[in-house]
Amino acid sequence: MAGKDVSTMKISSKVWKNGKFIDWDDARIHVMSHVVNYGSSVFEGIRCYNTTKGSAVFRLPEHMQRLVNSAKIYRMDPPFGRDEFCSASTELIRQSGLEACYIRPVIFRGLNEEKPAFGVNPFPNPIDAYIAAWEWGKYLGEEALESGIEVCVSSWTRISSNTMPTMAKAGANYMNSQLIKMEALLGGFSEGIALDDRGYVSEGSGENIFLINNGKLITPPLGAAILPGITRDSVIKIAREMGIDVIETTIQRAALYLADELFFTGTAAEITPIRSVDRITVGEGKRGPITKALQDEFFKIIMAERPAPGGANWLTFVHDTDEKKTAAA
């Protein structure tokens, strides 16, 4: 079934809900659902690419495992596991008619309509799971992948792991992200970089960050109140395969200004160079050579033009014919 057009964006006409496919327009919740009032949701962002061998989802099992992990942290127990979420996603893409798309699985606490409960206590409310898909271009702009973006250091501190579990990709966490993003946009920047509660570099509003100095790739450690990004992990593996030293360590704010190269990573952002921070030019003020080399290898992998590091399987092909072509390659 073909996707529907909403303005210029193609959206899958079907949404997966609790094991069944429903129409997009029927994917509704009650205004008094727990998630609306208290932000009790966890979600994922996943990309399906139109590769040289057919439509394929990038690191689908890893994303769905993180979804399941996020739900576990928040004591949500949906009646579906990682593999079921993976199968539902590929079937949704097949039904959507989209060759490339962004996939959004979300698990949240709804409303117990038989015994409504409106308090903070989440336990009386049912847990629902949905998956939607739509065609989404480059998050920070097509030109950003080459020319880079201008960012600022936010005045908002990133949530600490003992305040909100930063290992979980939870909807409530993104209220903090929204403050960072809005401040950046209103200041004339494309994105903001948050510091953690100790004053060290954490991440962007929805991206991990990497710094390059003297040929070494440096990124904040997972203990720095950051989401364990799957694109982040991919870049680290690609860099090590290329012989680039990768250092996970704390980064001072001033180090951003003095970096040779700087870039964001994320499912939406992919690998996006940063050309200035707080109006201070980073390196040559454009994408640097190591960033470009990492981009080149990353996009070769997601387009099925070369294997992932160590021969890992990072692509889940949507159609059987695509899988057969991959097996024969």
- 324 assigned to active site: no
Residue 57 lies in a domain: yes
Give domain status of residue 318, yes or no: no
Q: What is the pLDDT of residue 141?
A: 61
pLDDT at 322: 46
pLDDT of residue 326: 44
Those residues with Cβ within 8 angstroms of residue 63's Cβ, 6 or more apart along the chain or in another chain: 44, 45, 46, 105, 230, 267
Same domain, 124 and 209: no
**Of residues 169, 181, 237, 300, which has the active-site annotation?**
169
Q: Is residue 329 situated within a structural domain?
A: no
pLDDT digits over 125-177, tens only?
Answer: 999 999 999 998 765 666 788 889 999 999 999 999 889 999 999 999 999 99
What is the total count of domains within the chain?
2
pLDDT tens for 294-315 read 999 999 999 999 999 999 999 9
Are residue 274 and residue 292 in the same domain, yes or no?
yes
Is 284 inside any structural domain? yes
Contacts 24+ apart (CB under 8 A), 70-73: 70/42, 70/43, 70/107, 70/167, 70/168, 70/169, 70/170, 71/42, 71/107, 73/42, 73/165, 73/167, 73/168, 73/170
Single pTM value for the model? 0.92
Kindly state whether residues 104 and 150 are assigned to the same domain. no
Mean pLDDT in residue range 248-252: 97
Q: What is the pLDDT of residue 327?
A: 38
Residue at a domain's end among 134, 165, 184: 134
Q: Is there a single domain that holds both residue 40 and residue 19?
A: yes
Neighbour count for residue 76 (Cβ, 10 Å): 19
What is the residue range of 217's domain?
A: 144-309
